[in-house]
Amino acid sequence: MTNSDNILIIGAGLCGSLLGLRLGQRGYNVTLVESRPDLRTTDISAGRSINLAFSDRGIKAMNMVGLQSKVEELCIPMNGRMIHPTTGEPFLSPYSGREDEYINSISRGGLNALLLTEAEALDNVTIVFNEPCTHVDFENKTATFKNAITKEETIKTADIIFGTDGAGSVLRKSYFLERKFLFSFSQNYLTHGYKELCILPANDGSFKTYKNALHIWPRGDFMLIALPNLDGSFTVTLFLSFEDGAYNFNNLNTPEIVTEFFTKEFPDALALMPNLIEDFFDNPTAALGTVKCSPWHYKGNTLLMGDAAHAIVPFYGQGMNASFEDVVEFDNFLDKHDGNWETTFKNYEKSRKIDTDAIADLAIDNFFEMRDHVANPMFQEKRKIEMALENQFPSQYASKYSMVTFNEDMGYNEAMVTGRAQDKAILNMIADKEIDLNSDLKSILNQILEETKELLDEDRVAKTMNH
């Protein structure tokens, strides 16, 4: 497979480096340009998103490029949420009733390095670092870069330009600001921000708390989470309102009040974090935003992918998985329309956008689930029923979480629509005391499936009229 088109990819983060690798494997001449230094030779940890949740949609992408076994070495399986309630002992709430379904904690840097190295090994892929893009002329297919060290400006031309330059994409900004076509765009911020903290390894290098879980301290309006790293540490993230509530990022401004807050709300976490105050005041507080836009492409010239096209909040652990799935889906459309870029771009977006819109909305829903509902008795009853169903009827039942996370052949939108109806069915059956936990599981399963189908049918009739 060879192709003489010259491809320019702006941004060699996770999405860009996977795309570069895949297009390189397909035989294109690829130039990948990254604004930051080479993370394999420079320590550029920006104090955020050190590790990420990696699951089946991401794994599918690694299989596509033949890297699954290499990636496995970077993974720490997390079988469920370890919930730390305000009072009482922590308990594990599994992600699935099927034993082979779990998510992983993976190092962003380690995974990015692997993808860069694999891409670079191809003769037809070139990677350039320290070259921030300052402007894209999407009409003439040129991009301007200003070297971060020499400050020298260069202009690169290409047959096709991809913008995989993240939530602050320069290509997307040029679509927005140049007003050459109708560009739908949204940026929506939560009223909460986040700050990364750390639980360091024990002196013997071991994990200070249970390794194979995503730890959550749900507190209603805010929460703390922790994901394990290979070196025995945990990356901890505090999600908290900027302005509202008794404690918020605006008023947590002295060591005393931060200590007071953690002592009151997260005493068991605080006991593992002697470094809390230093981390808290060294690390930035960041915003949580969702970006949607359309069109992603301009003619057959340029295309946005990954966070540049659809930045989402982190609460479903799907940000990287969704970006990797972009590349898998795009690869399928290349098979269908290879050589006709405009048709490829148009059909890819038409098929893909409904799914990236869905995961954006699901990620916001999950913020409420994580910070609040995991500690709610009705939610816990629902999860208990669902775990039993997944365990007893592994091929007949999947929770919304399982559909989103473990059913990589079901699109996000289908998972959202079906999963929401199913949740609604179960919650209403619990509220109306229509689920008899003493009856056999098989009849509970049928009851839920039937009620879900009815809700979906009702929506369909109403929707026929509404859109």
Per-residue DSSP letter, 273: -
CA distance 86 to 268: 10
368 binds a copy of itself (CB under 8 A): yes
Tell me how long the chain is.
Answer: 467
Shortest Å distance, C-beta 2 to a copy of itself: 34
Which uninterrupted H or E stretch holds 58?
A: helix 56-64
- Binding-site member from 68, 86, 188, 446 for a copy of itself (CB under 8 A): 188
Q: Nearest approach, Cβ of 198 to a copy of itself (angstroms)?
A: 26
Burial-class residue 256 by CB neighbours within 10 Å (0-12, 13-18, 19+).
exposed
Contacts of 148 (CB under 8 A, 6+ apart): 35, 36, 37, 130, 131, 132
* Part in contact with a copy of itself (CB under 8 A); list of ranges 80-88, 216-224, 401-409, 423-431: 423-431
Q: How far is the CB of 40 from a copy of itself (least distance, A)?
A: 32
Binding mask 223-252 for a copy of itself (x = CB under 8 A): -------------------x----------
Among 105, 106, 119, CA closest to 18: 119
Applying CB under 8 A, the span of 123-131, 179-187, 217-225, 391-399 interacting with a copy of itself comes to: 179-187
Q: Does 42 bind a copy of itself (CB under 8 A)?
A: no
Q: Would strands 125-128 and 29-33 be described as parallel, antiparallel, or unpaired?
A: parallel
Q: Mark the segment that binds a copy of itself (CB under 8 A) among 41-49, 100-108, 249-257, 454-462.
A: 454-462
Q: What is the nearest approach in angstroms of a copy of itself to the Cβ of residue 424?
A: 4
Q: Which long-range contacts (CB under 8 A, 24 or more apart) does 147-154 make?
A: 148/35, 148/36, 148/37
| Closest C-alpha among 113, 111, 128 to residue 9 | 128
Does 342 help bind a copy of itself (rule: CB under 8 A)?
no
**168 near a copy of itself (CB under 8 A):** no
**Residue 466 binds a copy of itself (CB under 8 A):** yes
CB of 137: closest distance to a copy of itself in angstroms?
Answer: 21
Q: CB 378 → a copy of itself: shortest distance, Å?
A: 7
Q: Does 369 bind a copy of itself (CB under 8 A)?
A: yes
Two tokens, residue 374 = 């995991």
**Binding string, 279-298, against a copy of itself, x = CB under 8 A?**
--------x-x--x------
**By CB under 8 A, residue 386 contacts a copy of itself:** no
Instruction: Determine if 450 is a binding residue for a copy of itself (CB under 8 A).
Output: no
Nearest 5 degrees, angle CA 138-CA 143-CA 145? 155
Is 4 one of the binding residues for a copy of itself (CB under 8 A)?
A: no
- Closer by beta carbon to a copy of itself, 195 or else 292: 292
The token pair at 176 is 């927005």
Alpha carbon distance 447, 389 (integer Å): 12
Residue 465 binds a copy of itself (CB under 8 A):
yes
- Cβ-contact 250, 101 below 8 angstroms: no
Contact with a copy of itself (CB under 8 A): which of 122, 277, 427, 441? 427
Main-chain phi, psi angles of 186, to 5 degrees: -140, 140
Contact region with a copy of itself (CB under 8 A), list: 33-41, 141-149, 314-322, 365-373: 365-373
3-state class (DSSP) for residue 329: helix
185 lines the binding site for a copy of itself (CB under 8 A): yes
Q: Which stretch binds a copy of itself (CB under 8 A): 109-117, 185-193, 207-215, 309-317?
A: 185-193
User: Closest separation between CB of residue 86 and a copy of itself, Å?
Assistant: 20
d(CA 84, CA 337): 51
For residues 184 and 199, give the distance between their C-alpha atoms in angstroms, rounded to a whole number: 42
Q: 370 near 218, Cβ under 8 Å?
A: yes
Is it true that the peptide bond before 218 is cis, omega within 30 degrees of 0? Answer: no
Strand arrangement, sheet containing 153-157? 133-137, 142-146, 153-157
Minimal distance, residue 456 CB to a copy of itself, in Å: 12
Check: CB of residue 319 under 8 Å from CB of residue 412. no
Contact residue for a copy of itself among 159, 221, 365, 381 (CB under 8 A): 365
What is the spatial distance between Cα 41 and Cα 234, in angstroms, rounded to a whole number?
23
Sole binder of a copy of itself in the list 208, 379, 380, 449 (CB under 8 A): 379
Q: Would you count residue 393 as binding a copy of itself (CB under 8 A)?
A: no
Specify whether the CB–CB gap between 307 and 244 falls below 8 A.
no
> Are 263 and 269 contacting, i.e. CB atoms less than 8 angstroms apart?
no
Nearer to a copy of itself, 41 or 464 (CB): 464
How many residues lie near a copy of itself (CB under 8 A)? Answer: 35
Contact 195, 284 (CB under 8 A): yes
* Residue 149 near a copy of itself by CB under 8 A: no
| Choices 21-29, 384-392, 409-417, 452-460 (CB under 8 A): range interacting with a copy of itself | 452-460
Residue 254 touching a copy of itself (CB under 8 A): no
Which chain residues interact with a copy of itself by CB under 8 A? 182-189, 242, 287, 289, 292, 365, 368-369, 373, 376, 378-379, 382, 420, 423-424, 427-428, 431, 455, 458-459, 461-462, 464-467
